[in-house]
Amino acid sequence: MDFRKATTDDCDLINSIARQIWAPTYEHLMSPEQLVYMFDMMYSPTNLLHAMTEGGQTFMIFSHEGRDVGYVSYETLPDHDFYLQKIYLLPTLQGRGSGRRMLELLLDHLRSLDPAARRLGLNVNRQNLKAVWFYLRNGFEIMHRRDHHIGNDYYMNDYVLERDI
């Protein structure tokens, strides 16, 4: 698996990859209306561009056998910490070690950016047990719960997790 830093020219590509992942990941956790609302909020090309240019997010695109198959987005925080905004992989590659490999490559990348890197945090939907178990198996600990209003009477009901880098 390889990865590269995304540029603003990759917003349409990230949107395309996300379209293949979003519904299979969340259709059993939220209403169709909330799926559409959240997808647009996070993955419209305009909102991706804003996340990259003004939101402090760095996107990385991962490829496998020459095909773009996933992406991550992270933010650099004070005190040598990082926050994982997004990590997504095409459903056809899930459960085969590719997600773990993406996480390992990301951690190596963060260590190369900041040799004093300390912690990586993230939020995960509490009902997305597949993802919760993935993170727990990969060294994350649940720190607390968070219920965050995202507009339109929708909430993100998450666990906040962290691990050492």
Q: What is the pLDDT of residue 20?
A: 94
Between CA 159 and CA 165 the distance in angstroms is 19
Q: Are 126 and 158 in contact (CB under 8 A)?
A: yes
Say if residue 149's pLDDT is above 90: no
CA-based max dimension of the chain? 43
Q: What is the pLDDT of residue 95?
A: 87
Q: What is the pLDDT of residue 150?
A: 80
For the segment 147-156, the average pLDDT, to the nearest whole number, is: 81
Between CA 7 and CA 71 the distance in angstroms is 12
pLDDT digits (tens, 9 = 90+) for 57-101: 999 999 999 999 999 999 999 999 999 999 999 999 998 999 999
Domains belonging to the chain, first-starting first, are 2-164 (3.40.630.30)
Q: Which residue has the higher pLDDT, 142 or 27?
A: 142
